[in-house]
Amino acid sequence: MATLRRIHSWLPQLLRTQACRRAAAAPTCRLHRTPASVLRGREFSLSACRPKSTKDLNSARQRGLTEEEEEEEDEGFIEDSEVEELFQLQVPAGIGEGQHRVFIVHPDVKWGSRKQHLTSAELMMAEAVGLVNTLDNWRVVDTIILSTKTPEKKRIFGKGNFQSLTEKIRQTPGVSAVFVNVDHLSPVSEKELEEAWGVKVFDRYSVVLHIFRCNARTKEAKLQISLAEIPLLRSRLKNEMANLDQQGGGSRYIGGSGETLFEIQQRLLKEREMKIRSALEKLRRKRHLLRSQRKHKEIPVVSVLGYTNCGKTTLIKALTGDSCLQPRNQLFATLDVTVHAGQLPSHMTVLYVDTIGFLSQLPHQLIDSFSATLEDIKHSDLLLHVRDISHPETVNQKVNVLNVLKNLQIPDRLMNSMIEIHNKIDLVDNYESAELNALPISALEERGLGELKKAVEEQIVNCTGKHILDLQVDLSTPQLSWLYKEATVQDVQVNADEGSAVVKVIISTAAYGRYRKLFTGG
């Protein structure tokens, strides 16, 4: 009933809001009668429309934004307090309350459509243990792999296996939660298992979501997680209201509003979902603006992606020398897209985009919620697929990553030019790649990075339509300084007697057109 009690706590504000709406419709309504709590409740929707201060305008103009761009940037403005309110209000009951001693159960499906063909039950269990160990104050106390023919049934296992499992859980001292390693449990199954075992029951959806919640730092990550939690809250609310109906208390009308308790609570969730989606859309527009600015500056963008904990952040730190990056050896350490500048052997600047890690059986609701973040992948010039080649599941992980990219409808041009990187070769004795086009590296020891940078440069030149040219420049004109600013200068051979130089550059078609118009009259 925790979900019910939590959402029930919103009712006073709702009723005050309803009273204000009725008052607003009446001719005798006065603004000073509006309760302060109602005004606070409205702040979220009003903040995006508030006038910009002079300080805000000056700050935007100092960054070189046009008036139209300033308006778009301002639309993405959301108060931290408003995001935090949405983030904290919806914490699913039980999962974030203190520490947990977890018993992990993996249902091993031996045949049928749900059987895993590219992995084993033991490796699936190892990943589940890794998920639990990622969380502070959570500890695995025992694990078990049980065969099942009917994973879709309420209790997942047959009668005999379920009875022996129940006895084992009850006999294990100190168990406070059971993690059933399946994609998603229905509310009915969750209730049935909790009643049988007497402890909280989690599935992969709820555990991964809690890891996301613990690692969220930015507004966008918090909003995306809040959005992903709504289906979980909605399904649990429905189940709890069904129980209340059985007790004869679920259909009472509230405060003469003509709505049942269930209808009001569903509407509250719907309104909150709309607010989150609206805020995310504003952030999406802001992200689009930033992409447009990068495109205008013609800086190539390279998205680094892969299975969670494959070493993406460590690789970007090695490629860029960015000391601010602090890689962590844990699942889903990166939730927010971050962009880091690096230089290729030709001195061309590229932007490396660090993306959220992928996971097998990641529920589609989570992918949907993070679609705005993953959208950056589609707008890249090149993809780097990083694989942890030391992991026993590396082939299965590759398949999962490619499936996610397929579902995201990544353009063929990106899929065909994608560079596959075999990372962590320092953990494999005498490593030899069986895949000819893959590049073996150790990001931690910075081995193989030279070959990787050359491959990135070659693909960037090909896919962005840049040209490698030798240009004759007059040193008495601004030609050389212009090329340093607008193109990538690789080499300068000066002829002092003639006051000229031959400059080897990598330059885009558009920039070369501007160069010819300015300096050669072409």
* pLDDT per position as a tens digit, 438-487: 999 999 999 999 999 999 999 998 888 788 889 999 888 898 999 988 88
Q: According to the model, what pLDDT value does residue 114 have?
A: 58
Q: What is the mean pLDDT of residues 64-82?
A: 48
Percent of the chain with pLDDT over 70: 67
Tokens for 28, please give them.
């005798």
Residue 27's alpha-carbon distances to 22, 30, 89, 221, in angstroms, are 10, 9, 35, 43
Task: Tell me the DSSP string of 478-504.
Answer: THHHHHHHHSEEEEEEEETTTTEEEEE
Q: Do domains 100-212 and 298-462 have the same CATH topology?
A: yes
Q: According to the model, what pLDDT value does residue 246 have?
A: 55
Is residue 397 a contact partner of residue 359, using CB atoms and an 8 Å limit? Answer: no
Q: According to the model, what pLDDT value does residue 330 have?
A: 56
Amino acid at 481: S
pLDDT tens digits, one per residue of 111-128: 655 556 557 888 889 888
pLDDT tens digits, one per residue of 488-499: 888 899 988 888
108-134 core/surface letters (b: 16 or more CB in 10 A; e: else): bbeeeeeeeeebebebbbbbbbebbeb
Q: Is the pLDDT of residue 157 over 70?
A: yes
DSSP letter, residue 307: B
Q: What is the mean pLDDT of residues 19-29?
A: 44
Is residue 324 a contact partner of residue 341, using CB atoms and an 8 Å limit? Answer: no
Q: Compute the distance between CA of residue 468 and CA of residue 150 in angstroms, rounded to an integer.
A: 62
Domain 100-212 sits in CATH at: 3.40.50.11060
Q: Compute the distance between CA of residue 361 and CA of residue 152 in angstroms, rounded to an integer.
A: 16
Q: What is the mean pLDDT of residues 237-251?
A: 58
Which CATH number fits the domain 465-520, given the four candidates 2.10.109, 2.60.120, 3.30.70, 3.40.50? 3.30.70
Confidence tier at 61 by pLDDT (50, 70, 90):
very low
Query: Which residues, including other chains, have CB under 8 Å from residue 520's CB and lie 6 or more apart?
Result: none
Q: What is the mean pLDDT of residues 274-291?
A: 74
Is residue 386 a contact partner of residue 424, using CB atoms and an 8 Å limit? Answer: no
Q: According to the model, what pLDDT value does residue 275 have?
A: 84
Is 453 exposed, middle or buried (CB count within 10 Å of its CB: 0-12, 13-18, 19+)? middle
Does the predicted model carry a pTM greater than 0.85? no
Q: According to the model, what pLDDT value does residue 74 have?
A: 43
Q: According to the model, what pLDDT value does residue 331 have?
A: 59
The CATH architecture assigned to 298-462 reads 3-Layer(aba) Sandwich (3.40)
Coil/strand/helix, residue 135: coil
Confidence tier at 20 by pLDDT (50, 70, 90):
very low
pLDDT tens digits, one per residue of 390-404: 998 898 889 888 988
Residue 448, phi then psi, degrees to nearest 5:
80, 5
Domain ranges (residues) in the chain: 1-77+218-297, 100-212, 298-462, 465-520
Higher pLDDT, 66 or 243: 243
